[in-house]
Amino acid sequence: MSCEKKWIFVLLFVMALMMFSFCWYNMRSITWHPSLVFHCNSQPTINYVNTSSQFDLLKQDFLHRMLYEKPNALSPPRSDVLMMTPWFAPIVWNGTYNIDILNTQFHQKNVSIGITVFAIKKYTVFIKTFIETAEKFFMVGHKVNYYIFTDRVGDIPNITLGEGRQLVILEVPSYKRWQEVSMRRMEMIRDHARQRFVNEVDYLVCVDVDMMFSDDVGVEILSHSFGTLHPSFYAASRTRFTYERRQQSTAYIPTDEGDFYYAGGNFGGTVEEVYKLTNFCHNAMMTDKGNNIEAIWHDESYLNKYFLYHKPTKILSPEYLWPTNFGAPAFLKRRRFAAIPKNHNAIRNKRALRDYSRNKQKFHR
Ligand code: 4GW
Ligand code: MN
């Protein structure tokens, strides 16, 4: 063999070696599988016959550039209040969150919020102030449905609402006993959550009507499920909580259990979670009714039982339920949602008022 031919063979051998290495490099991550279709191209991706997944529909949400103060891992924004429960649910206090970040996140999800409120009998007088102040302070910039449950449709005033906000009047029966008026809210919220709210909104906020908004209440309150610290008991010991203490009641909580005393006048969460909560409370009430017992603080007692064993994922500080005649302690930086003092004689019947005052004195509320 001539020297020239020898070199041609060496060259061909080197080229074959290079091609082999190239192919090996491209195919190195392939594991052979019966459903594998291998295309002879240099695409490094592997194409399986069935490649679709629910993850293909995921959107990549990301925040735009924002300028704000850096959080400091060694310096909590508040040291005068508890900001986190032992089950890692944040407690919402002024100064602990950045509303711009939260608004951007919730706008990206295009959330809509339903707020349920009951105005039965004379309580329709509270509607005007409630809605007018909510227009100024409640979830401004987000989609809001006001769900007004009432037995007096004609008494609901016409109020002009902002863009993306609507008022839905739901006619419901009224009950004779005021305790029942308050308690049946659970059943009515539950039924409407199943039939209607689930198709219309993402979150529900369920509140008393004898209230006014006096500062911002925004998406910082939204979570899977949330409750509010009662303004009379945020600092109280367990034994002072006015939980139901009779063992015969389904709302019973022993004195060595309990995290917080939650207010009946402000709770919520996703429609599904509010359905579970209201369904539990209503069923528990019905069980008690069958046994001729009614929990001491009505719907509030059943709510407290529910939250003891289904811990809320967020807790609102008393900023979100504060009586206007309570004064403002130093830790209370804002009063956002205020209970209006009632002219009891005008708004409630006399006998009910007597029962009510008796209970209030008994429990120092
Ligand atoms: C005693 O005569 C009454 S009437 C106690 C409650 C009553 C009542 C309550 C009512 O006649 N009509 C009514 O719509 N409600 C609803 O239940 C209303 O949404 C109210 O905010 C909620 C709870 O009652 P409340 O605000 O009087 O309870 P507290 O004093 O604990 O905030
Ligand atoms: Mn109230």
Per-domain residue ranges of the chain = 109-360
Cα 76 to ligand 2 centre (Å):
34
Residue with the larger pLDDT of the pair 360 and 284? 284
User: Tell me, what's the pLDDT at 18?
Assistant: 85
Residue 4 annotated in active site: no
Is residue 89 within 8 A of residue 142, CB to CB? The reply is no
Question: Tens digit of pLDDT for each residue in 73-126?
Answer: 999 999 999 999 999 999 999 999 999 999 999 999 999 999 999 999 999 999
User: Tell me, what's the pLDDT at 286?
Assistant: 98
Residue with the larger pLDDT of the pair 51 and 42? 51
Question: Tens digit of pLDDT for each residue in 306-316?
Answer: 999 999 999 99
> Does the structure show a pLDDT above 70 at 304?
yes
Is residue 122 within 8 A of residue 104, CB to CB? The reply is no
Is residue 186 within 8 A of residue 285, CB to CB? The reply is yes
Question: Tens digit of pLDDT for each residue in 170-199?
Answer: 999 999 999 999 999 999 999 999 999 999
Question: Which whole number is the average pLDDT over 326-351?
Answer: 84
Nearest ligand 1 atom, CA 124: 14
> Does the structure show a pLDDT above 90 at 288?
yes
User: Tell me, what's the pLDDT at 49?
Assistant: 64
Q: What integer best gives the mean pLDDT of the chain?
A: 90
User: Tell me, what's the pLDDT at 47?
Assistant: 58
User: Tell me, what's the pLDDT at 4?
Assistant: 80
- Residue among 210, 345, 353 to mutate when testing ligand 1 (max atoms within 8 A of CB): 210
Which architecture characterizes domain 109-360 according to CATH?
A: Alpha-Beta Complex (3.90)
**How many Cβ atoms sit within 10 Å of the Cβ of residue 336?**
23
Helices 271-290 and 185-192, axial angle in degrees (round to 10)? 140
- Residue among 125, 150, 208, 242 to mutate when testing ligand 1 (max atoms within 8 A of CB): 208
Give Cα separations from 95 to 28, 84, 301 (angstroms).
Answer: 54, 14, 31
Helices 299-309 and 271-290, axial angle in degrees (round to 10)? 120
Residue with the larger pLDDT of the pair 213 and 31? 213
User: Tell me, what's the pLDDT at 343?
Assistant: 72
User: Tell me, what's the pLDDT at 112?
Assistant: 98
> Does the structure show a pLDDT above 90 at 347?
no
Q: Which residues line ligand 1 (CB under 6 A)?
A: 118-121, 123, 178, 181-182, 208-210, 265, 348-349, 352, 356
> Does the structure show a pLDDT above 70 at 35?
no
User: Tell me, what's the pLDDT at 354?
Assistant: 45
Residue of 220, 244, 294, 300 with catalytic role: 300
> Does the structure show a pLDDT above 50 at 25?
yes
